[in-house]
Structure formats: C-alpha cells, structure tokens
Structure 1
Amino acid sequence: MTAFDVRPITEDERRSTVDVLRRSLHHNRITDDAWARTGKSWPAEHKFAAFDGGTPIGIVSSFDTGIAVPGGRAVPVAAVDGAGVRADRTRRGVLSALMAAQLADFAARGVPLAVLHASEPTIYGRFGYGSAALGKTVRVARPAGRLRERVPAGGEVRMLTPEEAVKELPALYERIGLHRPGMIGRPDLWWPVAHDRYAGPEAGHLVAVHSGPDGDDGFVVYATVSRRSFDSPDEGAVLDVHDMHAAGPAARAGLWRFLLSVDLVSGVRGRHRPVDEPLAVMLADHRHAATLAVEDDLWLRPVDVEAALGARAYRAAGPVVLAVADRTLPGNTGHYEVGPDGVRRTSAAADLALDVDTLGMLYLGQWSATALADAGRIEVRDEAAVARADELFTTVTAPWCGTHF
C-alpha cells in the first residue's frame, strides 16, 4: 500500500491538480493559454487532493449550486466536477480516501445533496451515489423530418455572435429557470469551461436564441459535423446539439423547427435530451425520429438523508417507513417516515429497506419503487408499501439535468 496524505489544496496547487485530473481522463496537460482563460474555473475551494510527499496523485473537486427537486424547490447541492487518480496510483485506496474526505466535508457544511456525472457507472455506487436521471440520444433525419402544422408556433429565432453568446446566455439560462427536477444552477465559474470554450470567440459551435412574446425564452448551442466521405460525397452535415434549454413548449418547438429548417444537412442529433421530450410526436412522421440510446446522466447522493427527503414534495398516499443504510456517513442510517405531510425519523418498523445509493435513484422520480424492488435493490417488508412508495415518489415530469459539469 502506497502511503499518501489527503488534504485540501492550496492556491499554488491548482494547476498541478487540474493536470492530474486531465491526465487521469486521458487529456493533455493544460496549456498556458487555456489556463489563462479557464483557470478561474478551478478555484482551490472545495478541492481535496492525495499527495505522495509533495506530489499530487489524485484529486476530487466540487462546486456549490442549487438543484430543482420534485415540488419545485431549489435545494443546495454539491456538484462533483472532477475525480481522478494518477494511473500508477489506482486501486490503492486513493479514490476511496478522497471521496470519504469530500463527503465528510459536504456533511460538515450542511449540504443535503451531492450530484455528479459518472465516467464509469460501476465506481460511484459504493460511495452512495445512485443513477437518478437518464438522458436519451435522438436523431432526426433531414429533409424528411419536419414538425406537424399544429405544433406550437410563434416567436423568432436569431443567431448570436460568439461575443454575444458569452455575454447573453448566463442571464438567459437563469431566466429560463430550474423548472425540471434535476436541473442545476450554473454559477459563474461554470461558464468559461463548459460554455465559452465551445461557443466563444475562439470556438466552433453556433448559438441561436428563441424569442417569444415576453422576450428571449430559449437557446441552442450546436456544431456542424461533416458526414461527407469518399464513398458518400453528397451526404450533408449533421447538426450536433450540445446544449438546449427552453422555458416552455413554444420555445422548445421553435428551436427544433429552426434546427430542422437548416439547409444542406442530413440530420439533427442531440445527446442527453430529456427522456420524455416529445420530439417524435412533434413530427409529421414520427418514424423520422430515432432514439439511438438511453443512458445514465445525473447521479445523486443524499448527504443528509432527513434534510434531503424533507426538501422535496410527495404525492398523496399513505406514509411509508424507509430503513436507510449508509456505510460512509453512518449518521444517516436509520428509519424515516415519508409522507405528503413531511418526513421524520422514527423508531417504527420499516416497510422498505434500501441502501443510500438506491435512495438516490428513487429521489428524483426516475425509478419507481416497484422497479427497484423487482431489481433486488429494495427489500420489501410490507408488500402494500411498494404501491404507496410508487405514488409518493412519482413525478409527472421525468428528471433531467441538462448541464454538463
């Protein structure tokens, strides 16, 4: 076992630790120019590194923001935006020590929830994260794919210059708001890395904004990807949707109508779209829309189980007593009565028993208690409680994050 120490990083260790993360994800070390543009998005705050002597060998990072939960509240959340270990130090307990330190920090600061996008799905369940929201990859064939005449219409779409995209989109995203469970706020440090480097003056993506009766209400960031080849010289490009948000159905339809009207393209593709986005039924012929994949997107971990359960709303059903087990944060282990009138710890017998990662899967409404019980993730001690839990936790709108971090 290699000896190492885990501690918060200092300001002077920011660049060396971002390089550890980049190399662990098989990217080159950051250049001087890139660091000058994006270094402010890698503050020392909320970062823990493992050190062998004075050399960093692993890193975990997060930033604080808010997340929409069922019922419409925005709840504080820690968004884990980086976790990596140097290739010659993996499988030696480094990541486990880093994740334990990070979770202890979240708990000490009173953060009720943590979320991440998993590079490998098999890693994060053991740290209490569960797959809480899915996303689908869709492709619409062009020119055959077009919207039905009765799909909501109105408003205008305009293209932004890169300078306008950098300036205008943060306020527009905030105006659109966190209207779906799983959506998170985008703090100032998010934009330089996750938006500006795609759509800014030195990037290649394009940006279009939809304006309705009350002003700007949606946007799309997309790239044009050539599909021409020696064997298919006449095949048009594909528009690859990188980021799309809309305040309502009319704005969403307006953005899709715009994308499907662009000339000289053979299709439009979007990854990690909401699983319930009704794109196929918006088309005159739904067969021109194909779902290519459905993948895990947002992973969620209750850090303070009682506070997390108490933050969301529940549908009308009889209460259910959950026995939650949490090995990393044992203070969460216990029984919780969950109902439409609230949540409380209890000494009553449990109706359902589950680990904290499974509670993360149940929390936003992506998975039903029935499905999780059938998969062996929930131990059923009262059969009637499964249907009550289904009704309590179900959401009409599928959860979706829509923000890469």
Structure 2
Amino acid sequence: MTDFDVRPITDDERRSTFDLLRRALHVPRVTGEVWARVGESWPAARKFGAFEGGTPIGIVSSFDTELAVPGGRVVPAAAVEGVGVRADRTRRGVLSAMMAAQLAEFAARGVPLAVLHASEPTIYGRFGYGSAALGKTVRVTRPAARLHERVPAAGEVRMLTPEEAVREIPALYRRIGLHRPGMIARPPRWWPISHDRHVGPDGDHLVAVHSGPDGDDGFVVYATISHRSPESPDRGAVLDVHDLHGADPAARAALWRFLLSVDLVSAVHARHRPVDEPLAVLLTDHRHAGTLAVEDDLWLRPVDVAAALAARTYRAAGPVVVAVTDRLLPANTGHYEVGPDGARRTDAAADLALDVDALGMLYLGQWTATALAEAGRLEVRDAGAVARADELFTTVTAPWCGTHF
C-alpha cells in the first residue's frame, strides 16, 4: 500500500495537478502559452490532491454551479470534473480517499446535489452517483434530409466571428435558461477552456445564432470534418455538432434547418442530444435521422437527501415512504416520505428501499421505480408503492444536461 496524504491543493500546485490530470487522461501537457490562457479556469479552490511527499499522484476537482430539477427550481450543485490518478498509483485506494474527502466537503458546505460525467461508468456508483440522464447520438444524412413543410420557419440565422462567439454566447446561454431537468449553469471559469478554445481565433469550430421575434434565442457550435479522399473526392463533409441550445422548439428547429441547409455536406452528427428531441419528426422522411447510440450522460449524487428530495416537485399520486442507505454519508440514511405535497423525513415503515446511487437514478425522472425494481436496484416492501413512485417521480420532459465539463 502506498503512503499518501489527501488535502486541498495550493495555488503553487495548480500547474502540476493539471499536468497530472492530462497525463491520466492520455492528453499531452499544455505549453506555457496555453497555460497562460486556460490556467485561470483551473483554480486551486474545490480541488483535493493525493500527494506522496510533495508530488501529486491524484486529483479530484469540482466547481459550484446550479442544477435545474423537476418542477422548475434551480438549486445549488457541485459539478465534479478533473478526476485522475497517476497510472502507477491506481487501485491503491487513492481515488476512494479523494472522493470521500470531496463528498465530506460538499456535505459540510450544505451542497444538496453533486453531478458529473463519467469517463468510465463502473467507477462512480460506489461513491453514491447514479446514472440520472441519458443522451443520444444522432446522424442525419444529407442532402436527402428535408424538414417537413409544416415545421415553422420563423426568424433568421447568422454566423458569428470568433471574437463575437467568445463575447456573445455566454449571455445567450443565460438568456435561454435552464429549462430542462438536469441542465446546469455555466460559471465564468467554464467558458475559457470549454468554449473559447473551440470557437475563438485559435479554434476550429463555427458558431451560428438564431434570432426570433424577441431577439437572439438559440445557438449552435459545430465543427466541419472533411471526408474527402482520393477515392471519393466529391464526398461531402460532416458537420459535428458540439453545442446546440434554443429557448423554444421553434429556435431549435430553425438551427437544425440551418445545419441541414449547409452546402457540400453529407451528414450532420450530434452526440448527447436529449433522448426525446423530436428530430426525426421534423423531417419529411424520418429514416434520414438515425439514432446511433443512447449513452449515460449526467450522473447525480444526493449529498443532502432531505434537501434534494424537498427541492423538486412530484406528480399527483399517493405518498410513498422510501428507505435510503448511504454508506459514505451516513447522516442521509433514513426514511423519507415523498408525495405530491413534497418530501420529508419520517419514522414510518418503508414501502421501498434503495441505496443512494439508485435514488440518484430516480431523482430526475430518467428511470422509473419499476425499472429499478426489475433490475434489483430497488427493494419492494409494498407492491402497490411501485406504481405510486412511478407516477410521483415521472417527468414530462426527459432530463438532459447539455453541458460538457
């Protein structure tokens, strides 16, 4: 067993832990010039490192954000990012120690929820995270794909310069708002490394904005990937959608109309779109829109179960009492009554029982209690409670994050 200490990092350790993370993710170290541009997006705050002496061997990071939950409320959340362990120190308890320290810090600050995107899905369940939202990868073939004649064609789309894209899109994202469960706010530190480097003067992505009756209400960030070859010199490019958001269905349809109108394109490809996005229905021939994959997107962990359950709303059904077990944050372990009037702790007997990671799967409405019970992730103590829980936790709109971090 390796001897190591887990503690918050200092300002002087920002660059070394950033380099450690990139090596753990098999990405080259950044140059001094690049670090000068992106270093402010890697602050020491909210980071725990594992150290052997003064040498970092592991890092976990997070930033404070807000998360939209069912019912329309936006609540504080911690977005976990930048997790890595040096290749020669894995499977020695380093990650477990860092994640435990991070969760304890979240709990001490009163953060009700934590979220992440998982590079490896088998890792995070043991720390109480559950797969809470899915995303689909779609591909629309061109030039055959056409929007149906009844799809509204209002407003206009304009291309932005790189300077405009850096300057205008953050405010537009805030204007569009967190209108789906699972969407998160993008704090100032998110933009330089996750947006500006793609769309700025040194980036290779393009940006288009839709304007409706009330002004700008949607945007798309995409890259052009050439598929030409000596054997197929006339083959069209693929537009790879990186980020697409609109304030309403009309704005989103207009952005898809724009993408499908670009000349010399053979396909439009987009990953991690909402599973209920009606792209195929927009087309005259839905077969031109194919779903290539459905994957886990956002993972969620209730940090304060009582506060998390009280933050969202529930549909009309008889209440259920849920027994929650949380091995890492034992203060959460207990019984909770959930009903159309809200949620609270109770001493009543439990109708259903589950671990905190399964509660994370249930929380945003992606998975039903029936599905979790059939998978053995939820223990049924009252058979009638399953249908009530299905109705209580169901959401009309599928959860979706739409932000990479």
Q: Please, what TM-score do these two structures have when normalized by structure 1?
A: 0.99
The Cα shift of 1:230 comes to 2.9
Aligned-partner Cα distance in 2 for 1:65–1:181: 14
- Unmatched 5+ stretches in structure 1: none
Alignment of 1:6-405 (within 5 A): 6-405=6-405
Q: 1: CA distance between counterparts of 2:220 and 2:260?
A: 13
Deviation (angstroms), 1:229 = 2.0
Does the 8 Å CA contact 1:353/1:380 hold for their aligned counterparts?
yes
Shift of 1:232: 2.2
One-letter amino acid of the structure 2 residue matched with residue 163 of structure 1 = E
**Partner Cα separation in structure 1 for residue 120 and residue 289 of structure 2:** 28
SS at match of 1:95: helix
TM-superposed deviation, 1:253: 0.7
Question: Matched residues in 2 for 1:209 and 1:23: separation?
Answer: 36
SS in 2 for 1:385: helix
Describe the superposition over 1:335-385 as per-residue Cα deviations: whole angstroms up to 9, x where unpaired: 000111111111111100000000000000000110111111000000100
- 8 Å contact kept, 1:152–1:249: no
Deviations 1:133-160 (A, max 9, x none): 0000000000000100101220000000
Could you tell me how far apart the structure 1 residues matched to 2:346 and 2:146 are? 55
How far is 1:30 from its partner? Answer: 1.8
Rounded to whole Å, the distance in 1 between the matches of 2:392 and 2:230 is 56
Shift of 1:81: 1.3
CA contact (8 A) 1:139 1:270 kept: yes
List per-residue Cα deviations over 1:34-87 (Å, max 9, x = no partner): 111100000000000000000000000000010000000000000001110000
Letter in 1 for 2:96: S
Normalising by structure 2, report the TM-score. Answer: 0.99
**What is the alpha-carbon distance in structure 1 between the residues aligned to residue 390 and residue 82 of structure 2?**
33
Amino acid at match of 2:258: F
- Return the offset for 1:231: 2.6
> Identity percentage over the alignment?
82
Alignment RMSD, CA only?
A: 0.5
Moved more, 229-238 or 209-218: 229-238
Cα distance between partner residues in 2 of 1:278 and 1:373: 29
Q: Given residue 184 of structure 1, which amino acid in structure 2 is its aligned partner?
A: I
Give the length in aligned residue pairs.
405
Q: Give the aligned residue type for 2:26.
A: H
> In the TM superposition, what whole-angstrom CA distance separates every residue of 1:99-156 from its partner, at most 9, and x where no partner exists?
0000000000000000000000000000000000000000000000010010122000
Q: Displacement, 1:400?
A: 0.2
2:337 partner amino acid? E
Distance 1:56 1:286 in 2: 52
User: 1:10: Cα distance to partner?
Assistant: 0.5
How far apart are 1:227 and its partner, in Å? 1.0
State the Cα distance separating 1:233 from its structure 2 match.
2.1
Distance 2:5 2:242 in 1: 39
| Aligned mates of 1:229, 1:325 — CA distance in 2 | 56
Secondary structure of the equivalent of 1:121? coil
Q: Which amino acid aligns with 1:277?
A: E
Residue 281 of structure 1 aligns to a residue whose secondary structure is: helix
Spell out, residue by residue over 1:221-258, the C-alpha distance to the aligned partner (whole angstroms, 9 max, x if none).
00000111233222110000000000001100110000
> Hey, what's the Cα distance between the residues in 2 that align with 1:299 and 1:200?
30
Task: Give CA deviations for 1:289-312 in whole Å, capped at 9, x if unaligned.
Answer: 000000000000000000000000
